[in-house]
Amino acid sequence: MICPATTPPSFGLLLRQVRDGLVRQLDASMAEEDLGIGFTHYIGLKVLSNMAPCTANELAQAIDQVPSAVTRLLDKLEALGCVRREPHAQDRRALQIVLTDEGRALWARLKLRGDAVMDYALRDLSTDERSQLLSLLTRIRDSLTTP
């Protein structure tokens, strides 16, 4: 949904439109992998590439998803051979999620796709404008973070 050029969009609507456009572009690019995965899998692998091994609850908090959604995400990633669930070293009741070599390789491919989508989205901005945009968005994000 694009607002008419005569009416500037609200800040919130504009952010939503940008996010939705990025997700659409990334989903289209990831479809070329022919694995039946989407944006949530991309985010899950991205977070796991930085914090694995971790528990499913830790992953759910990191990606702001309910545990049941993370269970479905992990089921798909496990079926693809990207993650393993192993007994937690300190908590007998918990499992930890481990990223496999296949998972790291898939993440490397998806990261290239994500980088290409970001470059495409920012293609009309100069290097200075990109830096300024990131700086402004970071300041807004930080102002919304409760101490």
What are the pLDDT digits (tens) for 47-93?
Answer: 999 998 999 999 999 999 998 999 999 999 999 999 999 988 787 78
What sections of the chain are H helices per DSSP? 11-31, 39-51, 56-63, 67-79, 101-121, 127-144
Confirm whether pTM is higher than 0.75: yes
Alpha-carbon dihedral of residues 99, 66, 117, 119, nearest 10 degrees? -90
Banded pLDDT at 1 (limits 50, 70, 90):
low
Banded pLDDT at 2 (limits 50, 70, 90):
low
Matching residue, tokens 């009741």: 93
